Structure 1
Amino acid sequence: MRIDRIRVGYAPVPMRNPMRTAIHSTTHTHNALVEISTDGVTGQGAALTLSPGQAQAVCRVLEDFAGLLHGTDPRNIRGLAAQLRQRVSLTGQSGISMLALSAIDTALWDLHARAADLPLYQMLGGSPAALPVYAQPGWLSLSEEELLTEALTVQEQGFGHYKMRVGSPDWRHDVERVSRVREALDPATQLLVDANQGWSRVQALAAARALDDLGLFWLEEPVDVNDVAGMARVAAAIQTPVAAGESVFGTEGMRPLIEHDAAAVLMPDLQHCGGPTGFLLAAAQAQLAGLPISNHLFIEVSIHLLATCPNAYIVEYMPGWWDDLFHRPPDIRNGTLRPSDDPGIGVRFRDDAEATLVTVG
């Protein structure tokens, strides 16, 4: 078995609602796509960016990697990951390079499972048990009434967990919005709050203490992810669990969060970890530290990986981001999700997205 074709493409996808967090604002996801084939079997992977230039930069790295991958055995996934990381040792093994590495790793695992005619979770020894899902986005751009309408709609759709954004210039405004949403929701519906690194240490401590009596499910990324000491200080000052990890790169990025007790829940990101290979390593790190995990985005793949993790806690779902990228949405029922039983990751690029793919290498 040898890789005989690699195709790369770029697919912008409009969001259902424009995104605005404390640090991001955009109307589209900009996706770099990769498809790897051997003996008539094909695996697919994707990397998310928030601008056309960034997505095209990932595509250029994917094209560079193609020359190394052609003719190799696609089952040697960890060996190929090590070779690709070595190839970018001079320019850096995070950022754009890591996104490309992750897309390839995902495509290789998808190919490997499809060749065996098994869903990825089963190939990895996982369980098809359903996990609870939280829906979002609760953007800062929403008016208070729009935010309340969205939260109540999510609740009516059967979700038991809803996440909203904070990180406004005035943290008191954030506390007021969170309090109103918490009051509007059924007491049984869990409320998650994400600051997207938008507060300073001083703001985060004041806001977190003011929110601490609301019984939040968690408070996510209250300060800059690089300020691990600040994150740990916030976590130590409140009863509300702090969640973090989506913005760090590689399993190396998780280590400081664990060592400094900066988070009670870790959130490995598929494309920041290095694809399924790195995600599972990050999950094992968390398990050894006695910490639960949730995914960050990429629900189609991440649900298979969470199904293999004893410390899997909850699944993140972002409605309306990839509706036009894959041929079907995730099958969420009663606020829960189980991995697909179709071979590989269980979804394929839609025809219009696949039409952007061009053979490289």
Structure 2
Amino acid sequence: MTAVPSVVRTDSPAVVDRIESVTLSSVVLPLANAISDAKVFTGRQRPMTEVVFLFAEIRTEAGLEGVGFGYSKRAGGPAQFAHAREVAPDLIGEDPSDIARLWTKLVWAGASVGRSGASTQAIAAIDIALWDLKAKRAGLPLAKLLGAHGDSVRCYNTSGGFLHESIEQVKDNATRTLAEGIGGIKIKVGLPDSAEDLRRVRAVREHIGDAVPLMVDANQQWDRPTAMRVSRALEEFDLTWIEEPLDAYDAEGHAQLARTLDTAVATGEMLTSVPEHYELIRQGSVDIIQPDAPRIGGITQFLKLAALAEHSNLQLAPHFAMEIHLHLAAAYPHGTWVEHFDWLHPLFHERLEIRDGRMHLSDRPGLGVTLTDQARAWTVDTVRIDAPH
């Protein structure tokens, strides 16, 4: 753990720092294999071959630095970068500790394009960088700054369960994943042939045994009758949850499923604001809520949603970006999971420690990640905004 003074002086004024520069970078991460979930098999999307990241690096007059990121799968990356570039100059000269006020300032700088979607996803990278900086200033991992409820969180793997791979390959992936210490397995469903979905789930359940947590994800590809029929058929496999059985905005349909099924219903990853998630909570649509900090506007907004979820006694399983979400899940008091993806490994020097089915916090301050030379090499656009001289 980074050393901190044993005695904190209270007889001198606090030192106010100021933001000196903001560097924004658009980084295109190529995937080793084209990825397909149910949206590809239903014809709604093409296979995914890359992920576009927006990195924000903030430096202060005192020499402190924070890094944050957001991302876009398929379209949207250039829009996030362009919006961040427009609003970031409003940060120069500001106190980086005033994160909530700065979030509001940036939202209103671009209010004509709304307070959700690409505009707030652009702000998310900046917001996350400010939280990283704040935790580094305190000499604490972000989870400890927020107030951790534990030093580790249950984790499950998704990247080995996609539909472009044969069921035999998915089973081999599961074997390797569990051997690496990851605690649960999630596989994709939602194929046009529901019988094939059931066959794949049965094969994986038989392969990993009854004791291993197993989740499925339909990626919004079922209508209400299909979701009810298939979800009932899936109950025999003792799943930890059924994810995105319906369109992400069908709060009423998800509520009907949640009332009917014994298996937990999970959703939320595709929503891009706290109010959208609140509608799920208000209607009783979820047992496990799955917000994505980069998608809903950053950590500032995530914490607002976490308070609402805690009040409703929901479990929390943030989507993707485990480098961020480990800290946020560790700061949540109820049952939590973190989603393991190995896709981002080339971007960061550090690796998260995983053992005994759990992902463990490190003692590195902030998010605890630094960008690799490879991440710099994959940069397709960058801009640095400095204080005027």
TM-score bin (small chain):
over 0.9
Query: Aligned AA for 2:134?
Result: H
Q: Conserved in 1, the CA contact under 8 Å of 2:352 and 2:360?
A: no
- 119-128 vs 159-168, which deviates more? 119-128
Q: Which residue in the other structure is 1:192 paired with? A: 215
C-alpha displacement at 1:132, in angstroms?
1.2
Query: Aligned AA for 2:24?
Result: V
2:234 counterpart (211, 214, 222) = 211
Q: Which residue in the other structure is 2:328 paired with? A: 305
C-alpha displacement at 1:139, in angstroms?
0.5
CA spacing shift, 1:312–1:273, aligned 2, 3 Å:
farther
Query: Aligned AA for 1:262?
Result: S
Aligned partners of 2:33, 2:213: CA distance in 1, in Å? 23
CA spacing shift, 1:118–1:157, aligned 2, 3 Å:
closer
Q: Conserved in 1, the CA contact under 8 Å of 2:157 and 2:177?
A: yes
1:270-349 paired onto structure 2 within 5 Å: 270-319=293-342, 321-349=343-371
The secondary structure found in structure 2 opposite 1:154 is: helix
1:19 counterpart (28, 35, 39) = 35
Q: Deviations over 1:252-302 (max 9, x none)?
A: 111111121111111111112221111111111111011111111111111
Q: Conserved in 1, the CA contact under 8 Å of 2:241 and 2:264?
A: yes
C-alpha displacement at 1:349, in angstroms?
1.3
C-alpha displacement at 1:88, in angstroms?
2.2
The secondary structure found in structure 1 opposite 2:310 is: helix
C-alpha displacement at 1:250, in angstroms?
1.6
| 1:107 to 2:107 alignment | no
| 1:5 to 2:21 alignment | yes
The secondary structure found in structure 1 opposite 2:371 is: coil
The secondary structure found in structure 2 opposite 1:36 is: strand
Q: Conserved in 1, the CA contact under 8 Å of 2:182 and 2:354?
A: no
Query: Aligned AA for 2:162?
Result: W
| 1:47 to 2:70 alignment | yes
The secondary structure found in structure 1 opposite 2:57 is: strand
C-alpha displacement at 1:147, in angstroms?
1.6
Aligned partners of 1:198, 1:59: CA distance in 2, in Å? 30
1:1-361 paired onto structure 2 within 5 Å: 1-23=17-39, 25-38=47-60, 39-51=62-74, 54-137=76-159, 138-319=161-342, 321-354=343-376, 356=379, 357-360=382-385
Aligned partners of 1:289, 1:219: CA distance in 2, in Å? 19
Aligned partners of 2:358, 2:338: CA distance in 1, in Å? 8
Aligned partners of 2:278, 2:146: CA distance in 1, in Å? 24
C-alpha displacement at 1:346, in angstroms?
0.5
Q: Deviations over 1:95-119 (max 9, x none)?
A: 1112111111100011111122222
C-alpha displacement at 1:145, in angstroms?
1.4
The secondary structure found in structure 2 opposite 1:332 is: strand
Q: Conserved in 1, the CA contact under 8 Å of 2:103 and 2:123?
A: yes
Aligned partners of 2:205, 2:242: CA distance in 1, in Å? 14
Aligned partners of 1:156, 1:118: CA distance in 2, in Å? 31
Aligned partners of 1:120, 1:90: CA distance in 2, in Å? 32
C-alpha displacement at 1:18, in angstroms?
2.6
Name the Cα RMSD after superposition. Answer: 1.6
Q: Conserved in 1, the CA contact under 8 Å of 2:266 and 2:286?
A: yes
**TM-score normalised to the size of structure 1?**
0.95
C-alpha displacement at 1:303, in angstroms?
1.1
Aligned partners of 1:200, 1:215: CA distance in 2, in Å? 22
Aligned partners of 1:164, 1:293: CA distance in 2, in Å? 19
Q: Conserved in 2, the CA contact under 8 Å of 1:105 and 1:276?
A: yes
Aligned partners of 1:242, 1:37: CA distance in 2, in Å? 42
Q: Deviations over 1:148-190 (max 9, x none)?
A: 2212222232323100000101212111111111111122111
- 115-124 vs 348-357, which deviates more? 348-357
Q: Conserved in 1, the CA contact under 8 Å of 2:56 and 2:69?
A: yes
Gaps of 5+ in 1: none
Q: Conserved in 2, the CA contact under 8 Å of 1:160 and 1:188?
A: no
- 286-295 vs 12-21, which deviates more? 12-21
The secondary structure found in structure 1 opposite 2:163 is: coil
Aligned partners of 1:17, 1:304: CA distance in 2, in Å? 29
Amino-acid identity (%):
35
- 116-125 vs 292-301, which deviates more? 116-125
Corresponding residue pairs, total:
359
Q: Conserved in 1, the CA contact under 8 Å of 2:219 and 2:243?
A: yes
Runs of 4+ residues deviating >3 angstroms: 354-358
Aligned partners of 2:144, 2:251: CA distance in 1, in Å? 36
C-alpha displacement at 1:312, in angstroms?
4.2
Q: Deviations over 1:7-32 (max 9, x none)?
A: 11111112244321122531211111
Gaps of 5+ in 2: 1-16, 40-44
Aligned partners of 1:120, 1:305: CA distance in 2, in Å? 8
